[in-house]
Structure 1
Amino acid sequence: MHAFPATRHLRRRHALLLATAATLGACARTGHGQRTTRPMAEVDRLLKQAVATHATPGVVCAIGHAGKVVYRSVQGQRSITPTREAMTWDTAFDMASLTKAVITAPCMMQLWEQGRFNLDDPVCRYLPQFAAQGKSGITIRHLLTHYSGLRPDLGLQDRWQGRDAAFALAMNTVPDHPPGSGFVYSDINFITLGFLVEKLSGMTLDAYASRYILTPLNMRMSGFLPPESWRARIAPTQFDENGQMLRGQVHDPSARRMGGVAGHAGLFSTADDMCVYAQALLDRRAGRPSAFPLQTSTLMMMTTPQQPQGKTDLRGLGWDISTPYSSPRGERFPVGSFGHTGFTGTSLWLDPDSNTYVLILANRVHPDGHGNVIRLRHDVATAAAAALSIPRS
């Protein structure tokens, strides 16, 4: 695997960061936990416009830079039906596919650091059932980079239910393409990785993640299967098959059928906790003091291209770098930045060069699934980078 080349002159970047930090030091708090600053006026406008045009009923946004949260905004409604509730900074969101990058990938890489497997080991070495249907050549690296050749999801046509049924379906999946031949984003990859975490650790995925990822970072409002005491602060998503509004139950139907704990979806979290996670990751990756529970070299590997040689869709181990899913990078963050999105409306994009991240937590699927924040993610990232004087990539 090749390392991604540097794209900035360090001295110039250092001077820019110092100047930007000084400018943003004049931020002033306003109501609802919102932090505004004149250079971020365009971000404010974009967020308000997204709510006004029904791209999402509500949104929480945080921008971190140079080790601090320099911008916070809370807009719109947490709930529209059955009751209207204003969005709040401490709202907990169904993080959807951010579970893949934030939880499952680092769980796997902790086990890799412990020598439990090699990235280019075939998956069937640890899950023998996975060899079925011609999958013996698929490696753990293929799963982590979405180059396995597996189709996007398990399918819901059959009325399967439970973790055992999901395991059987994943193990018996027939590949659509040879491993390594192309990038196909697939929930099955991370459902399988969730089962691998459990096989290698001897713990359930949620228990392992709580003990070894969330607790070291003191992320107290994050986890699978949120307790009833969180319910009032959770952003509802959509009505389920029985006409009940999902609130605290995972939106993803496969994860829900699996009982709410899966490698591809199921995490709930808040803006505060995700800011902690993002900054800790950036700090550890840069070699600064950090509680992030992985080594610097491991994070470097996870967040630089690890796809097969010669392929142009760039993926780290769990993280997106440059693919059709990279709209949250915007127009200015470099290709060396990385991030991930979630179907419910969540996204996190991080730029290690400038020590910056952009977090957007939206419940765009509430209440009818018609919202769309793809453009919002792109435009907010572009506006934030411009406000922070980050040069165009």
Structure 2
Amino acid sequence: MHVFPAATRLKRRHVLMLAGAATLTACAPHARGTQRPVHDMRDVDRRLRQAVTQGEAPGAVCAIGHDRQIVHRAVYGLRAISPAREAMTWDTVFDMASLTKPVITAPCVMQLWEQGRFGLDDPVSRYLPQFAAAGKSGITIRHLLTHYSGLRPDLDLTRPWQGRDAAFRLAMDTTPVQPPGQGFIYSDINFITLGFLVEKLSGMTLDAYATRFILTPLGMRQSCFLPPATWAMHIAPTQPDENGHMLRGQVHDPSSRRMGGVAGHAGLFSTADDMCLYAQALLDRRAGRPSAFPLQSRTILLMTTAQQPGGKSDLRGLGWDIATHYSSARGDRFPVGSFGHTGFTGTSLWLDPDSDSYVLILTSRLHPAGHGNVVRLRHDVATAAALALTPSRG
């Protein structure tokens, strides 16, 4: 059962009023244990304020982690504009969109791999026989995880299909647009299929499996698929659906929504607190430190280093992005070898194991009418954060 806690109390450094906007707040770091150096995040705050004033997103929550602590927390702008204005808060719940892929689906898959249930280079059709249709018998599980399957980006949304079974048939019948391993095509169908693989091998629905084996061990009590109605006031709305209904607690991604809100590529809802828990646990496990992350260190290393076919310049881990045209969230200063992912709704997480750092940006950039754009914001905040954390790289 998910219980939403009371709003987090934050120590405030300064408050800025912008015309026509809610109070915008930048929050000082919370020290834990030994006093740490205070990093100058004024450029981060300046860019976040600019994003709100220029309409890149109605509001933003940002967390920067370094050396096993959160060194900066920032909350700016509005959580909702329509039908009523609401101030953004640290405990706002966001539709994480494609962050579902590396945060949930990939670790579920890799837990089953650790158990010896399959090999990464096994054909998908060995476990989902229907997947062999339309020339897909050569596509492996690794191809799906790295987006080198050759499948097109999404299921056909021009047809009025509905439900998990319909999505399964469409995914199984999909025809590749190029041979597996030939090139990088970012495809939701890859992770929709991986979600079905988790369900087939575990005998559980993806959301039930993820809650039991990923979210619960990590203590992520503010994260789930299909958030309950009691969370509604804390959730950042996205935009109206096809019928004009403002989506708030219903997943924005149309394929996931047609599937009932649970899918391998999108559907997770989460908060800054929970995503910081996740990011730090991941970095700790990767480094061999004590961690609640429910995978082995060697598995995390495999997931976060290049696993694409040899000779390919688009670098992908198993679920995580490393260096592709989607990597703007790395900025200019974090090195290749850091990793992360973005979500269509305006979410992003980038992690740098070398400096033991991460940058989390949560926005609902589509609210209220689908016009926001945070691609440049992600780049600029990551660059400013990296310069503040590791000034020698400047």
| Normalised TM-score (structure 1) | 0.92
**How much does 1:34 deviate?**
1.5
Correspondence for 1:171? 172
- For 2:106 and 2:68, the matched residues in 1 are separated by 24
**How much does 1:389 deviate?**
2.1
Q: Retained in 1: the 8 A contact 2:349–2:358?
A: yes
AA partner of residue 228 (structure 2): P
Unaligned runs of 5+ in 1: 1-26
Correspondence for 2:353? 352
- Mapping for residues 82-97 of structure 1, pairs under 5 Å: 82-97=83-98
Cα distance change on mapping 1:333 and 1:216 into 2, 3 Å: same
Q: Deviations over 1:323-357 (max 9, x none)?
A: 00000000100001000000000000000000000
Q: Does 1:236 align with 2:234?
A: no
- Mapping for residues 1-393 of structure 1, pairs under 5 Å: 29-30=13-14, 34-35=27-28, 39-392=40-393
AA partner of residue 161 (structure 2): W
- For 2:39 and 2:46, the matched residues in 1 are separated by 12
- For 2:245 and 2:260, the matched residues in 1 are separated by 16
- CA RMSD after TM alignment: 1.3
Question: 3-state DSSP class of the match of 1:376?
Answer: helix
Q: Retained in 2: the 8 A contact 1:331–1:392?
A: no
Q: Retained in 2: the 8 A contact 1:152–1:188?
A: yes
Unaligned runs of 5+ in 2: 1-10, 16-24, 30-37
- For 2:214 and 2:334, the matched residues in 1 are separated by 27
- For 2:233 and 2:324, the matched residues in 1 are separated by 36
**How much does 1:98 deviate?**
0.1
Q: Retained in 1: the 8 A contact 2:12–2:26?
A: no
Identical pairs, percent: 76
Q: Retained in 2: the 8 A contact 1:33–1:89?
A: no
Q: Retained in 2: the 8 A contact 1:333–1:390?
A: no
Cα distance change on mapping 1:29 and 1:287 into 2, 3 Å: farther
Question: 3-state DSSP class of the match of 1:71?
Answer: strand
Q: Retained in 2: the 8 A contact 1:334–1:392?
A: no
- For 2:72 and 2:47, the matched residues in 1 are separated by 14
- For 1:177 and 1:271, the matched residues in 2 are separated by 38
- For 1:154 and 1:38, the matched residues in 2 are separated by 45
- For 2:133 and 2:198, the matched residues in 1 are separated by 20
Q: Retained in 2: the 8 A contact 1:191–1:263?
A: yes
AA partner of residue 142 (structure 2): R
Question: 3-state DSSP class of the match of 2:326?
Answer: coil
**How much does 1:121 deviate?**
0.2
- For 2:230 and 2:243, the matched residues in 1 are separated by 23
- For 2:80 and 2:282, the matched residues in 1 are separated by 31
- For 2:357 and 2:13, the matched residues in 1 are separated by 20
- For 1:350 and 1:290, the matched residues in 2 are separated by 16
- For 1:58 and 1:180, the matched residues in 2 are separated by 39
AA partner of residue 88 (structure 1): T
Correspondence for 1:9? none
- For 2:97 and 2:332, the matched residues in 1 are separated by 25
Q: Deviations over 1:296-316 (max 9, x none)?
A: 000000000000000010000
- For 2:350 and 2:327, the matched residues in 1 are separated by 9
Q: Retained in 1: the 8 A contact 2:39–2:71?
A: no
Question: Which ranges of 4 or more aligned residues in structure 1 deviate by more than 4 Å?
Answer: 27-33
**How much does 1:392 deviate?**
3.7
